[in-house]
Amino acid sequence: MSLKPYPEYKASGLLWLGEIPAHWDAVRLKQVAQVGPSKSEARRFLEANTPVAFLPMERVGIDGRVTATEMRPISEVWNGFTYFRRSDVLIAKITPCFENGKGACLATLPTDVGFGSTEFIVLRAGPSLMPEFLYRVSTLSEFRSLGADAMTGAAGQQRVPPDFVKGFVCGLPPLEDQAAIARFLTHADHRINRLIRAKRRLIELLTEQKQAIIHRAVTRGLDPNVRFKPSGIDWLGDVPEHWEVAPLRRFATKRCDGPFGSGLKSMHYTPQGIRVIRLQNIGHSEFRERDAAYISPEHYASLGDHDVIQGDLLIAGLGDERIPAGRACVAPGNIEPAMVKADCFRFRLNTGRAEPQFVAFQLSATAVNASAILSTGATRQRINLQTTAGRAIAIPPIHEQQEIVVHVTSSLRPLEKAIAQANREIDLLREYRTRLIADVVTGKLDVRGVGLPALDEADTLDDRDTGEDAEVDEMNDSEEATDA
């Protein structure tokens, strides 16, 4: 739709905000919102020990969606947690959640009051401010960048001070304009997210096709006339009769896992140094370069032997039904110097007997069934290093492994190109949404009186992103929970 600027503007006095509509005011948030309301107003719920909503930080996604809330007696959460009320705005104050927008939401609760992580800053809209508009202000990229500049604390554990939030200046429209803006952005969100869902569904279908190609090639081979034998392994089934079935350790010269306990946490990360390979870097038979983390050479020297070199087999020891434990990839050529983190395993293979990429393909292709049998854990699958070393694989002669890798790689190339294109289109949609929100919330575009077509049922469904980004978020949550 075609949107136009407001008829008249005036100077806001702020370089980042520029001009604002002439009938708007430039205000500090503390003038129109309460920051960190006192829980004393909820004491009557404590006297009755009323069940209240409890919201851990990891339940709030990047798009402001709350995945689930728990119910707990208020006496269990009264001390040591952050109090808030329905329709309050929650902002994660700790790095890196604040910068990437994860942990920010408009509190939609099943109860009148709630408690959550101490890493939340709570904002409550006053009479001249709609909670929906206040939430949109908290998502502005300028709010994030300026807040990041104001952070205090040790590296890796920096936090946004409440005084920054109180002193942040934004444009304040009249309530009727706020209502129009909230209505417009809600509608735009649904429509854009519907497009993203369609792209995600395409990626899922292409990924399923990739996995089918890989699974057939690395468990059945390329010869359609080959004879088969029972492998005796549930997750392998019948395999070509000339393939060797043996535990992974038979083909490895060295193996290790990452340091456990307090030896390596996210607080130890530095801007550069030794690359730390984490769960979110281990994809389904492919290494994911995103979310690079490093530690200093001095700290690395204190941790022992966890090194990774080009061609090493990397295996995830933690996952769930959608992102299974036991998936694997190969360390790329640009990785050194590097090491594995907790729940990540490094196997250095005898390349005269086992081609690392073939093994990564097979481990990933059979990970769902294998982890269902080998893993422990009620909510998340966990497989330790010893169990992983004993996991059975089926290996053809080395020349056949190499032929299968070439075949699979060439077969996947057009599918990977299509997936990359769909991901790029998702990125563009997100960029468009971010810019649209910023232009509307800061008054660059006038949405008053804009006619909005009715949303159909598909537009109003749960529109959280799924797929690759969700997998990464899940693994990030694992790391944050382990560190905590």
Look at residue 109 in the predicted model and tell me its pLDDT: 83
Q: 37 with 99: CB under 8 angstroms?
A: no
Tell me: pLDDT of 481 over 50. Answer: no
Q: How far apart are CA 463 and CA 429, in angstroms?
A: 14
Percent of the chain whose pLDDT exceeds 90? 71
3-state secondary structure of 275: strand
Mean pLDDT of 411-424: 96
Look at residue 456 in the predicted model and tell me its pLDDT: 61
Q: DSSP letter string over 324-375? A: -TT-EEE--TT--SEEE-TTEEEEEE-TTT--HHHHHHHHHHTHHHHHHHH-
- Which amino acid, one-letter code, is at 258? G
Mean pLDDT of 233-247: 95
> Looking at per-residue confidence, does 477 or 309 come out higher?
309
Look at residue 459 in the predicted model and tell me its pLDDT: 52
Q: For the segment 138-153, what is each residue's pLDDT rounded down to a tens digit? A: 999 999 999 989 998 8
Look at residue 455 in the predicted model and tell me its pLDDT: 64
The pLDDT mean for the chain works out to 89
- 69 pLDDT band (50/70/90 cuts)? confident
Expressed in angstroms, the distance from the first to the final Cα of the chain is 46
Helices first, then strands: H and E counts in the chain: 14, 26
Tokens describing residue 382: 């966990």
Backbone angles phi, psi at 425, to 5 degrees: -65, -35
Mean pLDDT of 2-7: 92
Q: How far apart are CA 155 and CA 255, in angstroms?
A: 32
Q: How far apart are CA 131 and CA 36, in angstroms?
A: 15
Tell me: pLDDT of 396 over 90. Answer: yes
Q: For the segment 275-314, what is each residue's pLDDT rounded down to a tens digit? A: 999 999 999 999 998 888 999 999 999 888 899 999 999 9
Which string of b and e fits 189-211 if b means at least 16 CB within 10 Å? bbebbbebbebbebbeebbeebb
Tell me: pLDDT of 383 over 90. Answer: yes
Q: 7 with 19: CB under 8 angstroms?
A: no
3-state secondary structure of 76: helix
Mean pLDDT of 228-246: 95
Tell me: pLDDT of 470 over 50. Answer: no
Q: What domains are there in the chain, each with its CATH number?
A: 27-172 (3.90.220.20), 227-406 (3.90.220.20)
- 468 pLDDT band (50/70/90 cuts)? very low
- Does this model's pTM top 0.75? My answer is yes
CA distances from 128 to 87, 105, 179, 230, 387 (A): 15, 20, 12, 72, 60
List Cβ neighbours of 207 (8 Å cut-off, separation of 6 or more).
284, 419, 467
- 88 pLDDT band (50/70/90 cuts)? very high
